[in-house]
Amino acid sequence: MEEGKKRLATLVGCNYPNTPHELHGCINDVHAMREVLVRRFGFHPRDVEVLTDAPRSKVLPTGANIRRALATMVDRAQPGDVLFFHYSGHGTWFPSTGKRAGDGRQRDEAIVPCDFNLITDVDFRHLVNRLPEGASFTIISDSCHSGGLIDKEKEQIGPSSVLPTAAKDSSSQVDKAISFESLLAHLTFLSGIDSPHVGEHLSGLFGAEGVSAKFAAAFERGKMPLADEGILLSGCQANETSADMCQGKDTGRAYGAFSNAIQMVLKEQEGLVSNRELVTRAREVLRRQGFSQHPCLYSSDENTDATFLWQRPRPRSTM
pLDDT in tens, 240-258: 999 999 865 544 589 999 9
CA–CA dist 121, 99 (Å, integer)? 12
The closest of 38, 24, 134, 7 to 79, measured between CA atoms, is 134
CA–CA dist 237, 205 (Å, integer)? 30
Mean pLDDT is lowest, of 108-122, 140-154, 196-210, 253-267, for: 196-210
The predicted pLDDT at position 211 comes to: 87
CA–CA dist 67, 59 (Å, integer)? 13
Mean pLDDT is lowest, of 53-57, 146-150, 314-318, for: 314-318
CA–CA dist 123, 68 (Å, integer)? 12
Give the chain's radius of gyration (CA, Å). 19
The closest of 306, 308, 258, 305 to 284, measured between CA atoms, is 258
- Determine whether 90 is an active site residue: yes
CA–CA dist 48, 233 (Å, integer)? 19
Tell me the per-residue pLDDT of 59-106, one tens digit each, with 9 for 90 and over. 999 999 999 999 999 999 999 999 999 999 999 999 875 544 444 457
pLDDT of 188 above 90: yes
CA–CA dist 291, 288 (Å, integer)? 8
Tell me the per-residue pLDDT of 99-126, one tens digit each, with 9 for 90 and over. 444 444 578 999 999 999 999 999 999 9
Tell me the per-residue pLDDT of 270-302, one tens digit each, with 9 for 90 and over. 889 999 999 999 999 999 999 999 999 999 999
The predicted pLDDT at position 30 comes to: 98
Element housing 258 (H / E): helix 257-268
The predicted pLDDT at position 97 comes to: 56
Residue ranges and CATH numbers for the domains of the chain are: 7-310 (3.40.50.12660)
Contact residues for 131 (Cβ-Cβ < 8 A; gap 6+)? 74, 77, 83, 137, 228, 229, 230
Active-site residue identified among 14, 26, 114, 144 = 144
Active-site residue identified among 21, 90, 126, 201 = 90
